[in-house]
Chain A
Amino acid sequence: MKIRVQREDFDLNAELDVLRRERPTVGAIVAFAGVVRGSDTASSLTLEHYPGMTEREIGRHVRDANARWPLLGVTVIHRIGELRPGDNIVLVAVAAEHRRAAFEAAEFLMDYLKARAPFWKREAREGKSEWIDSRDSDEAALRRWRED
């Protein structure tokens, strides 16, 4: 399991190669890459986080995912600092023997990351800078994983 919070960009192919080589039995890798969405008015996003809690919180959810699905490797990378439309912001990549575990675990991890990992986004728009509000739909997305 690899969890990183960093300012630098990540190389999707390099990260997938690491997972591919994790075990000879890897037969499926699912990767979700979150990208800063562009719009006519937004010029940049700035992300801050709670060092220490972020890594613990993501680590806990990766362990939960490992308990629920037979996973062979997990990589979570989240960027902080100033990002521009089109930039990578987050990577969740999961390796397993078969696709279903990899698909489901990747979605589980993204849902928990969005609703629980302590990151906050501020958006620069037309010369003003504002904190982005959370969305109820992110919290609602967790219900699906609790009802199993």
Chain B
Amino acid sequence: MTLLYFAWVRQRLGTGEEEIELPPEVGTVRELAEHLHSRGGAFADVFSERKRLRAAVNQEHAAWDASLEMATEVAFFPPVTGG
């Protein structure tokens, strides 16, 4: 599965993209965020601020309890500020 990070999430993690193998216990966006948090370091910092994060699954906005069953691409980013 591809993970993408944007804006300050990308900057603070020091990467915009990575490939990961989902651990079997990770079934939702929330569980993925908790898994990434458990890596420690910058990941722990960024993923402890979940109120400031949004997610997309397969390029559509997704809630924290959204399933990852069909997910090939998951992105984490701050609330959008375009326009």
Contacts and interface: CB of A to CB of B under 8 A. Distances in A.
A10 interface: no
Chain B interface: which size bin? 10 to 19
Nearest to A118: B80
Given A48-B6, A50-B6, A122-B7, A110 B83 contact: yes
Contacts, number: 70
Given A52-B59, A56-B59, A134-B78, A120 B83 contact: no
Tell me if A's interface is mostly helix, strand, loop or mixed.
mixed
Contacts of B81: 119-121, 131-134
Interface residues of A, number: 28
Given A50-B75, A53-B56, A118 B8 contact: no
Given A50-B59, A118-B56, A120-B78, A131 B7 contact: yes
B23 to A, nearest CB: 25
Given A114-B82, A120-B6, 17 more contacts: A34-B83, A50-B4, A50-B56, A50-B75, A57-B59, A90-B83, A115-B80, A118-B6, A118-B75, A118-B77, A118-B80, A120-B7, A131-B81, A132-B81, A133-B79, A134-B78, A134-B81
